[in-house]
C-alpha cells in the first residue's frame, strides 16, 4: 500500500479505519489532503491517549505514502466537481471534493468508506471501487 505506482486512491476514511478492509488494493496512493485531515484529528483529540494513538497512525501513514499534492490539475478538477455539486444542489466538504479531484486528475479509482462522498463521485462520473466497509477509529 505504499510508495509504488498504483491506480487506486484511498480516502481518509479508509486510512483511519480500525481494521483494514479486505477489498483494498495491494498498492494505493493518498492525497496530501488526507495528511491535513489526520493532522487536524491529532490537534482535536479529546485526550492525550487518543492524541497519541492518532499521532502514531499519522506517523505510520507519513512513512508509508508519498502523498499526491494539490496541483493545478487537481485544482481544475476541484472546480469541475464544485460546479457539479452546486448545480445538482449537493453539499460536500471541500476536503472530500479535493480528494475526489485528486483521484480524477491522477486517473485513480477512489476507495472510500464515506457513502456521501462515494455517491457524489459516482454521480460526477468518477471511478469508485465497490464501497468497502470497516469500523472507523475515533
Does 19 score more than 80 pLDDT? no
Number of separate domains in the chain: 1
pLDDT digits (tens, 9 = 90+) for 55-73: 999 999 999 998 999 999 9
In this structure, is residue 67 part of a structural domain?
A: yes
Cβ contact 9:110 at 8 Å: yes
Query: What's the CATH number where 98 sits?
Result: 3.40.50.1010
Domain range enclosing 101: 8-123
Q: Model-level pTM? A: 0.87
pLDDT in the model for residue 27: 84
In this structure, is residue 98 part of a structural domain?
A: yes
Does 103 score more than 90 pLDDT? yes
At 75, give phi and psi (nearest 5°).
-60, -40
Amino acid at each position: 500500500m505504499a510508495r509504488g505506482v498504483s491506480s487506486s486512491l484511498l480516502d481518509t476514511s479508509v486510512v483511519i479505519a480500525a481494521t483494514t478492509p479486505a477489498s483494498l488494493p495491494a498498492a494505493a496512493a493518498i492525497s496530501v489532503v488526507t495528511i491535513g485531515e489526520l493532522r487536524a484529528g491529532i490537534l482535536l483529540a479529546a485526550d492525550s491517549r487518543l492524541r497519541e494513538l492518532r499521532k502514531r497512525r499519522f506517523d505510520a501513514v507519513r512513512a508509508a505514502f508519498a502523498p499526491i499534492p494539490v496541483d493545478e490539475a487537481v485544482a481544475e478538477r476541484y472546480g469541475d466537481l464544485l460546479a457539479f455539486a452546486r448545480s445538482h444542489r449537493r453539499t460536500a466538504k471541500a476536503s472530500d471534493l479535493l480528494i475526489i479531484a485528486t483521484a480524477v486528475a491522477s486517473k485513480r479509482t477512489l476507495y472510500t468508506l464515506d457513502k456521501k462522498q462515494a455517491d457524489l463521485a459516482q454521480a460526477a462520473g468518477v471511478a469508485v471501487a465497490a464501497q468497502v466497509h470497516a469500523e472507523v477509529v475515533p
